[in-house]
Amino acid sequence: MDLASRPRLTVLSGPSGVGKDAVIEVIRKQAPWVWISVSITTRRKRDYEIEGEHYHFATRKEFERYVHEGTLLEWAEFAGNLYGTPRGPVEARIATGIPTLLKIDLQGARQVREAMPQAQLVFLAPPSREELHRRLVGRGTEDPETLRRRLAHADEELAAEKEFDVTVVNDYLERAADELVGLLGSPVLAAARHHL
């Protein structure tokens, strides 16, 4: 198997509001052979969320133990809650040749680049800065000051695009998901290995 077709860790990142979750949902349906990493968080479980599917939920004490033991590939604190990626399951999937996808923020992507230099970092970009701002404003869920901060943060995240290996533009959801699946490695090889 040549290096280009060998499945490896692919990290998906991009600004808030760009549609990362929507792209992941399409990939779940269209490419079930892709393993999507599930993060650990200390935030409260929402009613619709399923343990082990949306997140692994942990107490702050448990999470801090994982950090101390070095069992997280990356972690960050956001809005008073801790989020992180368990290292073991990611390494196990990569070792068996299963294409592995990890959706994290910019800070986490930088940590993964340091911990696993061979990882492929993919930046999910909006069709334009104006379109991203329109999507964020259109949510209508935040007060003006929070929205102002979120728009400024989105601009900072857009400026980090050059740190990534590949950019996928989310102009059309299914097309963006197809392009991302194409970057994940060979589904034939992954399926064959999965059934060994």
What's the pLDDT tens digit per position in 83-125?
A: 999 999 999 999 998 999 999 988 899 999 999 999 999 999 9
Q: What percent of the chain has pLDDT over 90?
A: 61
Token digits of residue 108: 């986490």
Superfamily of domain 3-194 in CATH is P-loop containing nucleotide triphosphate hydrolases (3.40.50.300)
Residue whose pair of structure tokens reads 């990939």 in the numeric block: 27
Q: How many CB atoms lie within 10 A of CB 180?
A: 23
Helix (H) or strand (E) segment spanning residue 39: none
Report the relative pairing of strands 100-103 and 9-13 from DSSP bridges.
parallel
pLDDT at 191 over 80: no
Report whether pLDDT(3) > 80.
no
Global pTM?
0.85
pLDDT of 53 = 84
- Looking at 15-19, 42-46, 134-138, which range is the least confident one? 134-138
CA angle 160, 166, 172 (to 5 degrees): 95
Q: Which amino acid belongs to residue 99?
A: P
* DSSP-assigned beta bridge partners for residue 11: 102, 121
Q: Rounded to the nearest 10 degrees, how much is the dihedral formed by the CA atoms of 26, 21, 40, 142?
A: -160
- Of the ranges 89-93, 122-126, 186-190, 192-196, which one carries the lowest mean pLDDT score? 192-196
In the chain, where are the structural domains located?
3-194
